[in-house]
Structure 1
Amino acid sequence: MTAVLPDSYTVRPPAKEDAEAVFALAAAYNTGVVGFADFTLDDMINALTEPSFEPSTDGWLVWRLELL
């Protein structure tokens, strides 16, 4: 798949080092929807590092460059 994004964005596979940022975003969303985060930072780390997860094909992170 080829992503077509504005120049101010980039896309890349997730890494274990991204777990805290991804968790913060997902936890904030879940808290707004259901009132609490229904998983932990450790759960996110496990999801990003489990053997069946292949980052280059199973996940994508889109970052706004000026926020990096």
Structure 2
Amino acid sequence: MLAQLFLNACVTGARMAAQRKALAWLAIGLALSNVLGPVVAGVMIGAAGALIGVSGMFWVAG
């Protein structure tokens, strides 16, 4: 009986720790996406703009 209670407590503790760890990683991921999202979008928009500019130059030159 006591062993069963101890086992249940261990399992519950492990579950809570796992959930806490998952929440921590989720929070880190959200923070990173908030910071890096605009940067990545800016780089992609910049690359698209450069591509359009270069192709426009070739089109004008051709």
Length-normalised TM-score, structure 1? 0.27
Question: With CA pairs under 8 Å and 6+ residues apart, which has the higher RCO, 1 or 2?
Answer: 1
> More helix by proportion, 1 or 2?
2
Length-normalised TM-score, structure 2? 0.30
